[in-house]
């Protein structure tokens, strides 16, 4: 009978278990987390999230504050090639988003109009 009592204590329903929510580096508590899904549930979640944040900041500093590639590489502790790759990927994303935008009736997409003279 003692064994049955111990088993039932270990197999408590979640609402009867005192869970200590310690959170993580992104939120004080899991229940107050601003992310839609726990970053640790995603494969490579934390590292991927941090890299995206870094890349956004690299792009922002390059375009808004006119920082150079070499300066950004030194700031973030990454290679110049990584900065260049980040900027290239950002431009590719912009082009892809622009291409997916519906064009107005009768007008050619902007990419097709480049270099064409209107008569």
What tokens were used for 82? Answer: 């990584």
CA proximity to 94, closest of 59, 52, 57 = 59
pLDDT tens digits, 29-85? 888 888 888 888 888 888 998 999 999 999 999 999 999 999 999 999 999 999 999
Distances from the Cα of 84 to the Cα of 48, 59, 78, 89, 98, angstroms: 18, 10, 11, 9, 21
pLDDT tens digits, 69-81? 999 999 999 999 9
Q: What is the pTM of this model?
A: 0.61
Distances from the Cα of 76 to the Cα of 52, 65, 73, 106, angstroms: 13, 15, 5, 46
């Amino acid at each position: 009978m003692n064994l049955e009592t111990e088993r039932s204590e270990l197999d408590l329903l979640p609402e009867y278990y005192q869970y200590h929510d310690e959170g993580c580096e992104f939120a004080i508590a899991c229940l107050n987390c601003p992310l839609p899904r726990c970053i640790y549930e995603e494969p490579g979640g934390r590292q991927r999230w941090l890299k995206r944040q870094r890349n956004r900041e690299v792009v922002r500093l390059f375009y808004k504050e006119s920082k150079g590639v070499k300066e950004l590489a030194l700031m973030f502790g990454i290679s110049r090639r990584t900065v260049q790759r980040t900027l290239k990927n950002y431009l590719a994303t912009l082009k892809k988003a622009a291409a997916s935008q519906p064009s107005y009736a009768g007008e050619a997409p902007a990419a097709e109009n480049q270099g064409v003279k209107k008569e």
